[in-house]
Amino acid sequence: MSTYSKEHKDYLKKIKKNKIIVLFFQIFIILSFLIIWEVTSRLGLINSFLTSSPSKVFNINLVITGVVLLALLSYIMYFIISYIEKKNG
């Protein structure tokens, strides 16, 4: 049997509902900003040299992330191989 009163359960539901509403509007505001930024950049309403566009920024981040991950994996593999060679040799 539940130890919470009906009023407390209703209060918890209200808090959960409010959190969901706030999260929805936060996501909505961010997406709206990104969409407006992308559209104005593509239409030439803003200087894309100074502000770029979200799609270009995202693509550059993917490339940089890939290069960083490749470098990190190479670095880790180098130390693993050198450790194995020291242990065996």
d(CA 64, CA 48): 20
Pair 30, 63 in one domain: no
- Determine the average pLDDT of the residues in 65-83: 85
Pair 65, 43 in one domain: no
Pair 15, 57 in one domain: no
Structural domain boundaries enclosing 61 = 53-89
Q: To which H or E segment does residue 89 belong?
A: none
* CB-CB contact of 55 with 38 (8 Å): yes
Predicted pLDDT at 21: 95
pLDDT at 1 over 70: no
pLDDT at 83 over 70: yes
Predicted pLDDT at 55: 84
* CB-CB contact of 59 with 73 (8 Å): no
For residue range 18-67, list pLDDT tens digits in order: 999 999 999 999 999 999 999 998 898 988 778 888 888 888 877 788 88
Domain count, the chain: 2
Pair 6, 46 in one domain: yes
Pair 58, 73 in one domain: yes
Pair 4, 47 in one domain: yes
